[in-house]
Amino acid sequence: MCAAILALESIALGLTTPVMIMIADVERTTALVVGLGLAVACLVVAGLLRKEWAYHAGSAIQVAAVALGFVIPLMFVLGGIFALLWGGAIFLGRKIEREKREAWTAWLTDQQAAR
């Protein structure tokens, strides 16, 4: 779920680049580095989510997306929505992993009891 959220967020962050250039009057180079840099970072981190530190990097991206609201005020809302989705995905992912572990442990216990 986290990878899907980051993939969708990369589209939104990539689209902030022209908004920063045309509407917010941000210098073109800065807008390209920030907008496209965050979009690429989302995709890279989405591919690295097998590693624990990638979840921290994903959280940092969420902070950066919300902070982009100081340049494009709508990003306070959009970044906040993605941050909530990110937090929910982490919460649900951990819950699912815990339940899978408990089910596996119960199955192993049943198998040992049957012997």
pLDDT single digits (tens) 17-53: 999 999 999 999 999 999 999 999 999 999 999 999 9
Quick check: 62 and 79 in contact, CB under 8 A?
yes
> To which residue do tokens 């990638």 refer?
54
Confidence class of residue 113 from pLDDT cuts 50, 70 and 90?
confident
Whole-number Å distance between alpha carbons of 95 and 71: 36
Using DSSP's 3-state secondary structure scheme, residue 49 falls into coil
The DSSP symbol for 33 reads I
- What ranges make up the beta strands (E) of the chain? none
What's the pLDDT tens digit per position in 58-70? Answer: 999 999 999 999 9
Please report, rounded to a whole number, the percentage of residues in the chain having pLDDT higher than 90: 93
Confidence class of residue 71 from pLDDT cuts 50, 70 and 90?
very high
Is the pLDDT reported for residue 89 higher than 90?
yes
Confidence class of residue 115 from pLDDT cuts 50, 70 and 90?
confident
Q: What is the pTM of this model?
A: 0.86
H or E element, residue 9? helix 2-22
Quick check: 89 and 1 in contact, CB under 8 A?
yes
